[in-house]
Amino acid sequence: MFERLRRVGLNGELSDEELHRAALAGRSEAMAALYRRHGGLVYRFTLQMSRNEAAAEEITQEVFLALLTQVGRFDPARGTISTWLCGIARRQLWKYLERSDTAALLDLDEESTAELQSLSDGPAEILLRHEAVAVVRAGMDELPPALREVVILCALEEMSYEQAAHVLAVPVGTVRSRLHRAKARLAGLLRGEMANTERKR
Amino acid sequence: MTTDRELDEILAEIGREHRTMDAPDRLESVLCAATGARKRALGMPGVRLRWALASVVILLAAFAATGIIWQARQNHHSQTQQEGSVPVPKLSPERIPPSTRVTVRQSVEPGSGPARSARRVKASLPRSSQKPTTWNSLDEFVPLPVSEGLPIAAELSVVRIRLRGSDLQQYGLETPADAVAQTMLAEFVVGEDGLPRAIRIVR
């Protein structure tokens, strides 16, 4: 395999598993290839969730180092390396969020209508200055992490429900319901923005 | 419904912009360094393992070479013993030049040619070894048909000769057609009178 690694020059022909084995054998170019292939996904996910570049970089680095340290935990039969990496990133993220802002980690069962209302009120001021995209973007930031991560994975990264379920370690049905609730919130924000615009006219 | 569709479009737009973002390049060098450090950490036991394997291979090769040499010496020793089983009081084994062989042929009595090779013969040595002188039975000494009637030799010598299959016919032996052109190594038991009494095909 290492001969093949030299021959193909890491031009995308090697699978993630082959690159992972090469990286475990100490091939730094294999690690670089894996990072170039999946680093963007992990970094975007962590940045979008944490809204903190330094934290996103640190977590991304930790995630890829886990490729070397948590050797036996990746099972190709259960999922791809990308979803496995995102799963590690998610665990790191939740630890980070717990440390940084416990208020953001509201239990989904305790979500109140008042919170939904406050979301509607908050973006209303923003709608005066920004278009609908900005409202949705801001609405995503206000979503509870458990809903936000589903939106990021399924809507922004275009993962399938099954892949997202693997990352989040929840059933596919949970992914569907969380995405539905997240979209309902964002749609509520969007309706409020549209109504506000109408009033201004 | 319109709002839901618009939301999907907005999310798709955000997603397209979102996916253009790449991971920072500086992390790549950090990860490569970590991987290289792992290689160095793995390197020491790897080197030791390779040296251990090389040592085992060398030892096995040495044992094999010793065995081969020992086997060759044993074969040589047994061959020497086999040669020595025939008493050679005066002559030492040596090749008989072709001219000598001609002499032997000329000394053969008339009527002792190939025509008699198929029958059972009685040679001067050993007289008791009576078996057909066929091609496949020459792995041990058999009397030559041409030696019948010769006086019993008081002194015998073993002479190793390289000859062709066709040459055997002059000693009264039958040679298969496919072996006529083959070269072989044979041992002749020769009496003190210089006439062959028995033959064995070495290879």
- 3-state secondary structure labels for all residues of chain A: CHHHHHHHCCCCCCCHHHHHHHHHCCCHHHHHHHHHHHHHHHHHHHHHHHCCHHHHHHHHHHHHHHHHHCHHHCCCCCCCHHHHHHHHHHHHHHHHHHHHCHHHCCCHHHCCHHHHHHHHHHHHHHHCCCCHHHHHHHHHHHCCHHHHHHHHHHHHCCCCHHHHHHHHCCCHHHHHHHHHHHHHHHHHHHHHHHHHHHHHC
pLDDT for the residue numbered A130: 58
The span from the CA of B144 to the CA of B179, in Å, is 18
pLDDT tens readout for residues B110-133: 334 433 333 333 333 444 444 445
Given a contact cutoff of 8 angstroms between Cβ atoms, the answer to whether A101 and A159 are in contact is no
Phi and psi for A79 in degrees, rounded to 5?
Answer: 175, 175
Put simply, the answer to whether A29 touches B32 (Cβ < 8 Å) is yes
Q: What single DSSP character describes residue B138?
A: T
The span from the CA of B167 to the CA of B96, in Å, is 13
Handedness of CA B13, A182, A45, A81 (dihedral sign): negative
pLDDT for the residue numbered B133: 53
Domain A2-103 and domain A106-200 have a common topology: no
B4, B7, B42: best mutation site toward chain A, by most A Cβ within 10 Å? B7
Res. B106: pLDDT tops 50: no
User: Which residue of chain A comes nearest to B14, CA vs CA?
Assistant: A156
Higher pLDDT, A118 or B20: B20
- Number of other residues whose CB lies within 10 A of the CB of residue A178: 23
- Of chain B, the percentage scoring pLDDT greater than 90 comes to 2
* Closest C-alpha to A42, from A3, A1, A85: A85
Q: What is the mean pLDDT of chain B?
A: 70
Res. B104: pLDDT tops 50: no
pLDDT for the residue numbered B43: 59
Instruction: Of A110-119, A152-161, B144-153, give the lowest mean pLDDT range.
Output: A110-119
Q: Does B1 reach chain A within 8 Å, measured CB to CB?
A: no
pLDDT for the residue numbered A174: 95
Q: Does B9 reach chain A within 8 Å, measured CB to CB?
A: no
pLDDT for the residue numbered A41: 94
Instruction: Of A149-153, B73-77, B92-96, B101-105, give the lowest mean pLDDT range.
Output: B101-105
Phi and psi for B22 in degrees, rounded to 5?
Answer: -105, 160
For chain A, the structural domain boundaries read 2-103, 106-200
Handedness of CA B134, B138, B141, B144 (dihedral sign): positive
pLDDT tens readout for residues A121-142: 444 444 444 567 888 888 998 8
Q: Which residues of B touch A158 (CB under 8 A)?
A: 15
Put simply, the answer to whether B31 touches A61 (Cβ < 8 Å) is yes
Res. B13: pLDDT tops 70: yes
The DSSP H or E segment spanning B112 is none
Higher pLDDT, B69 or A72: B69
What is the CATH number that goes with domain A106-200? 1.10.10.10
Res. B53: pLDDT tops 90: no
Q: Does B87 reach chain A within 8 Å, measured CB to CB?
A: no
Q: Does B22 reach chain A within 8 Å, measured CB to CB?
A: yes
Write the CA distances from A164 to A35, A90, A170, B120, B199, integer angstroms.
20, 11, 8, 95, 90
Put simply, the answer to whether B31 touches A31 (Cβ < 8 Å) is yes
pLDDT tens readout for residues A151-192: 999 999 999 999 999 999 999 999 999 999 999 999 998 888
Res. A37: pLDDT tops 80: yes
Given a contact cutoff of 8 angstroms between Cβ atoms, the answer to whether B172 and B112 are in contact is yes
Q: Which residues of A touch B35 (CB under 8 A)?
A: 23, 26-28, 30-31, 68
User: Which residue of chain B comes nearest to A68, CA vs CA?
Assistant: B35
Res. A44: pLDDT tops 80: yes
Identify the band that residue B196 occupies on the pLDDT scale cut at 50, 70 and 90. Answer: confident
Please name the residues between 134 and 153 in chain A that touch chain B, using a CB distance below 8 Å.
136-137, 140, 151-152
pLDDT for the residue numbered B2: 61
Q: What is the mean pLDDT of chain A?
A: 80
Q: Which CATH number is correct for A2-103, 1.10.1370.30, 3.40.50.300, 1.10.760.10, 1.10.1740.10?
A: 1.10.1740.10
Q: Which residues of B touch A25 (CB under 8 A)?
A: 39, 42
Put simply, the answer to whether A190 touches B7 (Cβ < 8 Å) is yes
ipTM tops the 0.95 cut: no
